[in-house]
């Protein structure tokens, strides 16, 4: 098998690992409510798991200063005053793992006040580890091609 | 791909040879640096609205790690303002022809310090306090000022740029990663250097100063310690210095033979992993521990940080390479195979920085209009709302960076490995580290 064909096969396998649709088990959407305490500089709980299609209600309770909660990927947010609560409701229709973070400057470590919501399974993580595995597996035959061609070049130069 | 000599282009050569374009950039950089110090000390204590935090840790960091280091190596060092006041005082001139008489003590740096261990220590000192440093304007102002004064102090005592070469916490990792960059300064013909009398590139001449980085260009085989200051281009009487475009990571075919550089690779790799978990992860207790300097939790954090970098990562690496047989000693194999971690570490930092920078880049607009947080609105952008950028492509971009880093490291391991010995343990090590980083970031 030539180097180019091996490379092409590897790239195609990579595309399959990255983008091939996975079988989805149908799960009846539910209403999920989470009460999240926000304090400098953390959320509690800081990791949420819901199923795709769930209607998620987050009740944000700020226990010290004003805090916000912005969900990456969904581009939605809510703000809660000190000692008050505020509610954010949305349909978790985008699967994957998303950071949620404070969007109101709340102190020094504000940029790192981060939580995580996973909708369904974190497919992209598994796909990424699959791509890394594929890269390592495919690396050995490709590098042996490269080494052979380098040696051939060196022999040609020597002769 | 062969090298392409960029200095064959007259415009590039003349621009690099003339001191004035570089001086113009230096002045802008120095003004910006001093303003960052002042903003840190007298501006708002709210980090996300202070020029010193936003422009140093978001804008400058993004340019440094995503553009300057990967594509220009030590390109940042070529325009860095930190050594300038000390160097001007040391020379007694800004642009005037060199005077051979030293203005200050002009001592040689003691041999025991002529390595990058001090840079490793200075980086780790900043890294241990980084949660405070990255978020507190007056601490950033103090650290920036301290670096400026340390550079002046060392220039007064020692010859050349002792601060840049042996102490700068940033210069150490820029030097390490500059080996991967597709740009280099090298001599054209070794025989010309051998026959050259007086070695003006190193010792200076009427045309310019001896290498501020204490490097003899004629013997240079790696980018690590060349600061791209262009002084040797000005002093070489034989036009024997070139700036070349070259393949990425050309220097990495030559394995590391120094323990300080080997540990630098582990320091950078470990720091990127720890930052990804502590700063970007959802675990509030880790952030508390990292931020509350001096508390019991911080001491545990610092101990774990140092143990990860000096014991866990190098220990597992050593166990891995012990399973392979080779003619070289274990120490030699450790140093040479640690070269494979250089591209991996660089891409870990790229992946980490993408997340941090894209999330916080919108603060730049507000800080530009109101750099001190005093209610100004210089460009009408002071009230620009915070908005994360490109969040949909962030995860694929991070995966791409990390997988490219893994393959790049695997290839580097093969290049630096002695003939016949297996690289599988190093590649497995890189794969496990990459998987951990993916789990932390995604």
Residue B209's SS3 state is coil
Q: How confident is the model at residue A155 (pLDDT cuts 50, 70, 90)?
A: confident
Which domains are delineated in chain A?
31-124 (2.60.40.420)
- Which of B129, B355, B363, B386 best probes binding to A when mutated, by most A CB atoms within 10 angstroms? B386
> Is B333 within the bounds of a domain?
yes
In a domain, residue B364? The reply is yes
Within a domain: residue B151? no
Q: Burial code of B112-142, b = ≥16 C-beta within 10 A, e = fewer?
A: eeeebbbbbebbbebbbbbbbbbbbbbbbbe
What gap in Å lies between CA B185 and CA B72, rounded to an integer?
11
Find which of A132, A141, A150 to mutate to test the B interface (most B CBs within 10 Å of its CB): A132
Is B420 within 8 Å of chain A by CB? no
Pairing status of strand A85-91 against strand A114-119: unpaired
Phi-psi sector, B420: left (phi>0), alpha (psi -120 to 50), beta: left
Cβ pair B442:A125 closer than 8 A: yes
Angle at the Cα of B364 from the Cα atoms of B359 and B365, rounded to 5 degrees: 115
The terminus-to-terminus CA distance of chain A in angstroms comes to 27
* Closest residue, chain A, to B57 (C-alpha): A111
* Per-residue pLDDT reduced to its tens digit, A16-34: 999 999 888 888 999 999 9
Asked if the structure places residue B397 within a domain, the reply is yes
Give the H or E element holding residue B436.
helix B424-441
How many domains, chain B? Answer: 1
Contact with chain A for residue B399, Cβ under 8 A: yes
pLDDT number for residue A139: 85
B296: part of which helix (H) or strand (E)?
A: helix B296-307
Query: How far is the CA of B134 from the CAs of A100, B39, B292, in angstroms?
Result: 20, 14, 13
The count of other CB atoms within 10 Å of the CB of residue B312 is 13
- Cβ separation A135–B442 shorter than 8 A: no
- B contacts of A49 (beta carbons < 8 Å): none
Cross-chain CB nearest to B442 (options A124, A133, A136): A124
Tens-digit pLDDT string for chain B (442 aa): 589 999 999 999 999 999 999 999 999 999 999 999 999 999 999 999 999 999 999 999 999 999 999 999 999 999 999 999 999 999 988 887 767 677 789 999 999 999 999 999 999 999 999 999 999 999 999 999 999 999 999 999 999 999 999 999 999 999 999 999 999 999 999 999 999 999 999 999 999 999 999 999 999 999 999 999 999 999 999 999 999 999 999 999 888 889 999 999 999 999 999 999 999 999 999 999 999 999 999 999 999 999 999 999 999 999 999 988 778 899 999 999 999 999 999 999 999 999 989 999 999 999 999 999 999 999 999 999 899 999 889 999 999 999 999 999 999 999 888 766 789 999 999 999 999 999 999 9
Q: Are A58 and A34 in contact (CB under 8 A)?
A: yes
What pTM was computed for the model?
0.95
B7/A contact by beta carbon, under 8 A:
no
Which residue in A41, A131, A139 is closest to B284 by CB distance?
A41
Domain extent, residue B423, equals 254-441
Alpha-carbon separation of residue B40 from B148, B198, B363 (angstroms): 14, 46, 16
Predicted local distance difference test score (pLDDT) of residue B372? 95
CA B287, CA B267: separation in Å to the nearest integer? 20
What is the enclosing helix (H) or strand (E) of B343?
A: helix B341-360
Chain B CB contacts of A151 below 8 Å: none
Q: Facing residues of A58 across strands?
A: A34, A88
8 Å CB contact of B442 and A128: yes
In a domain, B242, yes or no: no
What is the per-residue DSSP string for B374-396?
A: SS--TTS-TTPPP----HHHHHH
Q: Does the beta-carbon distance from A125 to B438 stay under 8 Å?
A: yes
Query: What pLDDT does B392 receive?
Result: 87
Q: Chain B contact for A149, CB < 8 A?
A: no
A13 touches chain B (CB under 8 A): no
Buried b (16+ CB within 10 A) or exposed e, B402-420: bbbbbbbbbbbbbbbbeee
Q: What is the DSSP string of A7-53?
A: HHHHHHHHHHHHHPPPP-------EEEEEEEEETTEEES-EEEE-TT
Q: Do A143 and B406 touch (CB under 8 A)?
A: no
Give residues 341 to 370 of B whose Cβ lies within 8 Å of A.
Answer: 356, 359-360
Interface contacts (A, B; CB < 8 Å) = 106
Our CA-based measurement puts residue B267 at a distance from the nearest CA of chain A, in whole angstroms, of 22
Length of chain B equals 442
**Does B418 reside within a domain?**
yes
CA B388, B391, B396 angle in degrees (round to 5)?
150
The answer on pLDDT for A98 being more than 90 is: yes
- A156 pLDDT exceeds 90? no
B281 touches chain A (CB under 8 A): yes
DSSP code of residue B158:
B
Q: What is the pLDDT of residues B217-251, one digit of tens each?
A: 999 999 999 999 999 999 999 999 999 999 999 99
Min Cα distance B410 → chain A (Å) is 8
Tell me which chain B residues have a C-beta less than 8 angstroms from the C-beta of A43: 282, 284
In B, minimum Cα distance to A42 occurs at B284
CA distance B409 to B429: 10
Contact A42, A113 (CB under 8 A): yes
Q: Which of A43, A97, A139 is opposite residue B442, by nearest beta carbon? A: A97
B153-194 confidence digits (pLDDT tens)? 999 999 999 999 999 999 999 999 999 999 999 999 999 999
Chain A hits for B391, Cβ within 8 Å: 72-73
Decide if A87 contacts A133 (C-beta within 8 A): no
Does residue B334 lie in a domain region? yes
| DSSP 3-state of B230 | coil
Identify whether A41 is preceded by a cis peptide bond (ω within 30 of 0): yes
Identify whether B324 is part of a domain: yes
Do B388 and B378 meet the contact criterion of CB atoms below 8 Å apart? no
Q: Please determine, for the modelled complex, whether the ipTM score is greater than 0.85.
A: yes
A135 touches chain B (CB under 8 A): yes
Q: Which residues of B touch A116 (CB under 8 A)?
A: 281-282
Q: In chain B, which residues have their Cβ closer than 8 Å to the Cβ of A110?
A: 47-48, 135
Among the partner residues A43, A73, A110, nearest to B48 by beta-carbon distance: A110
Q: What is the layout of strands, in order, in the sheet containing B4-5?
A: B4-5, B241-245, B183-187
Cβ atoms of B228 and B78 closer than 8 Å: yes
Best mutation target, A128, A129, A135, to test chain B (most B CBs within 10 A):
A128
pLDDT of residue A50: 97
């Amino acid at each position: 098998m030539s180097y180019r064909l091996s490379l092409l096969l590897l790239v195609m396998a990579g595309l399959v690992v990255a983008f091939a649709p996975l079988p989805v088990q149908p799960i009846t959407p539910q209403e999920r409510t989470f009460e999240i305490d926000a304090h400098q500089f953390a959320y509690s709980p800081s990791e949420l798991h819901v199923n795709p299609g769930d209607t998620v209600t987050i009740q944000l309770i700020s226990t010290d200063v004003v805090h916000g909660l912005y969900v990456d990927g969904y581009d939605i947010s809510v703000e809660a005053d000190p000692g008050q609560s505020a509610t954010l409701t949305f349909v978790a229709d985008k699967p994957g793992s998303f950071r949620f973070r404070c969007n109101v400057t709340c102190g020094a470590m504000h940029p790192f006040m981060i939580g995580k919501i996973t909708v369904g399974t974190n497919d992209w993580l598994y796909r990424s580890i699959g791509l890394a595995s594929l890269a390592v597996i495919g690396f050995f035959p490709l590098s042996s091609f490269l080494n052979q061609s380098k040696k051939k070049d060196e022999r040609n130069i020597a002769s | 791909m062969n090298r392409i000599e960029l200095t064959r282009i007259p415009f590039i050569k003349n621009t690099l040879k003339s001191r004035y374009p570089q001086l113009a950039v230096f002045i802008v950089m120095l003004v910006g640096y001093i303003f960052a110090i002042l903003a840190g000390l007298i501006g708002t204590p709210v980090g996300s609205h202070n020029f010193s935090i936003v422009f140093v840790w978001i804008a400058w960091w993004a340019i440094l790690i995503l553009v300057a280091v990967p594509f220009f190596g030590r390109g940042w060092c070529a325009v860095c303002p930190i050594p300038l006041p000390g160097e001007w005082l040391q020379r007694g001139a800004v642009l005037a022809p060199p005077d051979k008489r030293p203005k200050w003590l002009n001592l040689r740096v003691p041999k025991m310090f002529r390595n990058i261990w001090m840079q490793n220590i200075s980086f780790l000192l900043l890294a241990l306090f980084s949660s405070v440093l990255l978020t507190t304007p007056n601490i950033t102002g103090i650290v920036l000022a301290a670096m400026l004064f340390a550079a002046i102090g060392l220039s007064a005592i020692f010859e050349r740029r002792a601060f840049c070469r042996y102490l700068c916490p940033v210069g150490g990792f820029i030097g390490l990663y500059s080996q991967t960059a597709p740009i280099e300064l090298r001599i054209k013909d070794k025989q010309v250097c051998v026959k050259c009398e007086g070695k003006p590139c190193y010792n200076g001449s009427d045309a310019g100063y001896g290498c501020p980085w204490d490097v003899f260009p004629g013997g240079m085989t790696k980018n690590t310690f060349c600061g791209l200051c262009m002084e040797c281009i000005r002093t070489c009487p034989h036009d024997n210095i070139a700036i070349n475009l070259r393949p990425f990571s050309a220097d990495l075919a030559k394995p590391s033979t120094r323990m300080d550089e080997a540990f630098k690779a582990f320091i950078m790799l470990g720091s990127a992993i720890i930052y990804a978990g502590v700063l970007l992860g959802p675990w509030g207790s880790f952030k508390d521990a990292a931020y509350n300097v001096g508390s019991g939790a911080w001491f545990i954090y610092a101990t774990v940080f140092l143990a990860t970098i000096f014991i866990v990562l190098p220990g597992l690496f050593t166990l891995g390479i012990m399973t392979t047989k080779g003619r070289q000693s274990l120490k030699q194999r450790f140093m040479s195979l640690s070269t494979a971690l250089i591209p991996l570490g660089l891409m870990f930092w790229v992946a980490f920085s993408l997340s941090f920078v894209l999330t916080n880049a919108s603060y730049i607009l507000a800080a530009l209009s109101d750099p001190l947080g005093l209610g100004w609105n210089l460009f009408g952008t002071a009230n620009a709302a915070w908005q994360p950028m490109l969040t949909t492509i962030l995860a694929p971009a991070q995966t791409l960076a990390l997988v490219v880093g893994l393959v790049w490291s695997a290839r580097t391991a093969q290049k630096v490995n002695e003939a016949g010995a297996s690289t599988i343990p190093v590649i497995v090590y890189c794969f496990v580290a990459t998987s951990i980083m993916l789990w932390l970031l995604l």
